[in-house]
Amino acid sequence: MIQGLEKEVSELTTEKQRVYSELSELVSERDEAVREKRTTEQEYLSLNNRLKNKSSEADNKAQAIQRLKKEKSEVEIRLNRSLTEWKEKHSKQGKLLDEEQTENNKLTQANEQLEEKIKDLERDKQKLPGS
């Protein structure tokens, strides 16, 4: 009976050592899993923050693009107005210049005709007796 008990104690001791060994392995595996979980959570948070930053950056760039498009449109409108005004001004100036040149040509022609008449009259005056 003592031998049976000793054998049983020996088996229980071996079993206890095996269970402790397994427990130690399980605790190590659990600790490793907890470390991996924490690492994964940190990576997730880091990636989430990067995503938020990129999203915010994309939103800011989209807003900047819209603002620049609006500014470009406003500049184009002002430029077109200025161009139209410039064309109208120069068109009016061109018309005025044409009118002035036409008027000048008429006056020059009238002046030449008057000078011709004056010369004719002076010739006629010299032909008169008593001149």
Mean pLDDT of 122-131: 77
pTM: 0.50
Contact present, 131 and 125 (Cβ < 8 Å): yes
Mean pLDDT of 97-115: 91
Report percent pLDDT > 90 for the chain: 67
131 pLDDT exceeds 70? Answer: no
**What would the mean pLDDT of 13-36 be, rounded to a whole number?**
95
Report the pLDDT value the prediction gives residue 95, as an integer from 0 to 100.
Answer: 87
